[in-house]
Amino acid sequence: MSVPTDPASAFPAEPVAPRVFIEDVIPALFVDLELSPAERAVELRLGVVLSGADANDSGGEWTLHFIDGELGIEPTRRPDCDITLVQRVADWRSALWSGRPAFVADAVQALFAGNGAGPAASALPFTLVPDPRALEALRALRGHLEIRVEAGSGADDWRLGIILGAGPIPAPPDATIQLGAAQADAIHRGELHPLEALMTGALRLEGDLGLVLQIQAIAMTASLPR
């Protein structure tokens, strides 16, 4: 997969409303992508649910569907979505424009710097065209995983919910991955191994650990962001 000739020009320098980003920026980026036959064969309904912070920066719900290499966007989250991402607008914005957390922000920067081709490139943050092998494996899973990066000092934690499977959004999460911001950055830089973080309590897994392990296995074998 290739990215636009000048992908940086497609990314707004200042934060924009989720509706503008999803309904205008993402299609503008997608139209210039050159898809392989395998990528064109992907069929996916991806839900996005963003909760707004205030009247001037409201969130919303969308379904991005990929069929025969074409991207369509509906201004609602369909109940038959294969995967749904749930996040607060403030957390979504921080990943795209504030560099928090680093492991998400780097994926965004890689795409819009023109060197992020392939399944690991992300802009929502999630892949525009997912790895077909990973998608088939994820379709077999059901559950709600939440990733939580603790901010400390009384600030709100950064959170991302990932819903696998169709149906309503379950609450609370079936499984949670939780760690501090400093530990997340150390893991991202390669200074702290995730297993060491888990054994020392810096990284905590709660709930359905089987779901976490299955997602990890898919990430390791199908080139998904980890």
For the segment 35-45, the average pLDDT, to the nearest whole number, is: 81
The better pLDDT of the pair 212, 58 is held by 212
Question: Mean pLDDT throughout 124-144?
Answer: 71
Q: Residue 172 forms beta bridges with which residues?
A: none
Q: Considering the domain boundaries, does residue 144 fall inside one? A: yes
State mean pLDDT over 203-216. 90
Is residue 226 one of the residues assigned to a domain? no
Range 151-164 average pLDDT: 84
pLDDT, average across residues 125-141: 69
Q: Is 14 exposed, middle or buried (0-12, 13-18, 19+ CB in 10 A)?
A: exposed
Give yes or no for a contact between 177 and 143, defined as CB atoms under 8 angstroms apart: no
pLDDT of residue 116: 39
How far is Cα of residue 26 from the mean position of the Cα atoms in its chain?
14
Residue of 49, 23, 32, 189 lying closest to 112 (CA atoms): 32
Residue 112 has pLDDT above 60, yes or no: no
Least confident of 4-8, 27-31, 52-56, 76-80: 4-8
Comparing C-alpha atoms, which of 109, 108, 142 is closest to residue 127?
108
Cα–Cα distance for residue pair 160/135, rounded to 1 Å: 19
Q: Is residue 159 part of a domain?
A: yes
| Mean pLDDT along residues 159-174 | 91
Question: What pLDDT is recorded for position 22?
Answer: 93
pLDDT band at 129 (very low <50, low <70, confident <90, very high): low
Within a domain: 46: yes
Q: What is the pLDDT of residue 40?
A: 80
Number of domains in the chain: 1
Tell whether 18 is covered by a domain.
yes
**Among 88-92, 126-130, 133-137, where is mean pLDDT lowest?**
126-130
pLDDT tens for 55-89 read 556 889 999 998 888 899 999 999 999 999 999 99
* Percent residues over pLDDT 90 in the chain: 31
With respect to residue 74, please indicate whether it lies within any of the assigned structural domains.
Answer: yes
As a whole number of angstroms, the distance between CA 188 and CA 192 comes to: 8
Confidence of residue 219 (pLDDT cuts 50, 70, 90): confident
| pLDDT tops 90 at residue 97 | no
Tokens of 30: 């997608």
CB-side exposure of 51: number of CA atoms within 13 Å?
A: 7
For the question of whether the overall pTM of this predicted structure is more than 0.85, the answer is: no
pLDDT at 162: 93
Task: Using DSSP, state whether 196 is helix, strand or coil.
Answer: helix
| Residue 99 within a domain | yes
Determine the Cα–Cα distance for residues 146 and 19; give it in Å rounded to an integer: 23
Residue 122 lies in a domain: yes
Q: What is the mean pLDDT of the chain?
A: 79
Q: Residue 190 is part of which domain span?
A: 7-221
Q: At what angle do helices 209-221 and 132-139 cross, to 10 degrees?
A: 160
